[in-house]
A and B are shown apart, each in its own frame.
Chain A
């Protein structure tokens, strides 16, 4: 879904038609507040947003979304062409910035790329939560083993650290691999690294 937010009715409606003409679903809002009121982070898509609007500006909306931890990619459109604002927007994590009037292909390209990016981000998020769930399902002892294994400790050292027999450690290790759904040590390490990745802001 392409979300379009612009206080100018003509621009809003014309954008909606343009998006529709390439076969994408579009939804419009005439203010940042209206958009926020009905926004659900579970909705996949991208946001096409005017920078300056009465009430909450586009930049302020972006900040609000960042605060909520939203990852929806944001494409700013502006009739002003101010560079400081463009820089601010990009630093705050905007996906892209376009000046009105623009060529339709320019916007559509960016929308397509933003939608793809959103899809990938969501996949990553689901992946990560899946891994987290699996980790939650481990017993505390198994979690200890997971941390030690992924930090590169061989069984012998782990056994000494945990005060267990090597045999016990091996059993724990096998169960960890099974529960985490990892088919190799390398894969397990990758999962552990994924979990450590810091959360990114909206649009990044």
Chain B
């Protein structure tokens, strides 16, 4: 004959539970308070039994709770019963913690009693926050990496206007030393110098635009304009590698509500992948095409296609997963990050082989128009 009673069994069960378990009557008065709940709330069961459960909640939640309880008792329509929700729970010492509360009715109880399960969400919250923080950092590093890789192309782009300025100014110097100097010609040259200085400034401005932190707000953006802004920077990279880069921009594209810097980051990433896909000693006309088009269903598609070797069949399945890379020195995160950025904008990033040869990556973004 067992020496313990079923009441003892119940107590053992309650105290073994990881989550806090609280039993209340129809007025909200606490009747049972398990050990886990004591630990969560930093209070002994004896101190809370007989008191309203709202002492364990913040004022806001407490008020809501009374309302819900009354409403259920009056109407029988459950609000959170059977479902549960996130709440801010309050400990005895006044500190709060995020918790998940599930409530159930004790079947057949007369008068009605409720049981609540309380789950501490603090750890999970912290982990989510940490993951978000690391992801932000990763995007920033990726952005800087993109800029770094474009450096040689940008250096070349800056060399052109600088060379032109040097040539023009030195030419002017010589021309002015001649007895019959053509002043109009010299003036024209000086204007060209100004123009070239502005050109160099533009290139720097675009580079700086890339460097801004992506805490920027979403704004209505015209995709074609965004790509045209990138065009100079893209071309400087492609030119260095003897790749021809063409733009095929669609007409009448609706504006998208996006974070421009992030989308530019994705496009640059795709272009960079395309550039790197070409073998270094290859020959033949290398071409990358950036296309924009309206899908007719209110979405916009931006595609980056190349006529390189394409994606190897053994890489294709895990293409968008982190650390899947065909390149030695690449961490293999670019496409994973890009896909996440696009997903955050409510869009998709997909791969398909290009015909007759090469790779094509397609970004699809929903229009913000309602």
Is the C-beta of B352 less than 8 angstroms from some C-beta in chain A? Answer: no
Q: Which listed residue, A14, A79, A100, touches B168 by the CB 8 Å rule?
A: A14
Q: Which listed residue, B162, B170, B199, B244, touches A100 by the CB 8 Å rule?
A: B162
Prevailing SS type, chain B contact patch: helix
Find out whether the CB atom of A101 lies under 8 angstroms from the CB atom of B242.
no
Is the C-beta of A42 less than 8 angstroms from some C-beta in chain B? Answer: no
* Interface-central residue, A21, A22, A103, by most chain B CB under 10 Å: A21
A100/B171 contact (C-beta < 8 A), A10-B192, A52-B239, A80-B240 known: no
Q: Which listed residue, A10, A52, A57, touches B161 by the CB 8 Å rule?
A: A10
Find out whether the CB atom of B160 lies under 8 angstroms from the CB atom of A80.
no
- CB proximity to B under 8 Å, residues A63-90: 77, 79-80
Find out whether the CB atom of A104 lies under 8 angstroms from the CB atom of B174.
yes
A18/B170 contact (C-beta < 8 A), A10-B160, A100-B160, A101-B162 known: yes
A101/B166 contact (C-beta < 8 A), A8-B160, A57-B242, A79-B156 known: yes
Find out whether the CB atom of B160 lies under 8 angstroms from the CB atom of A79.
yes
Find out whether the CB atom of B156 lies under 8 angstroms from the CB atom of A80.
yes
What count of chain B residues pass the 8 Å CB interface test? Answer: 28
- CB proximity to B under 8 Å, residues A82-141: 100-104
* Interface-central residue, B159, B239, B242, by most chain A CB under 10 Å: B159
- One digit per residue, 1 when the CB lies within 8 angstroms of any chain A CB and 0 when it does not, for chain B 150-173 equals 001000100111111111101110
Is the C-beta of B196 less than 8 angstroms from some C-beta in chain A? Answer: yes
A21/B163 contact (C-beta < 8 A), A10-B196, A54-B239, A79-B156 known: no
Is the C-beta of A13 less than 8 angstroms from some C-beta in chain B? Answer: yes
Find out whether the CB atom of B240 lies under 8 angstroms from the CB atom of A104.
no
Is the C-beta of B324 less than 8 angstroms from some C-beta in chain A? Answer: no
A10/B175 contact (C-beta < 8 A), A80-B240, A104-B170 known: no
Which B residues are within 8 Å of any A CB, using their own CB? Answer: 152, 156, 159-168, 170-172, 174-175, 178, 185, 189, 192, 195-196, 199, 239-240, 242, 244
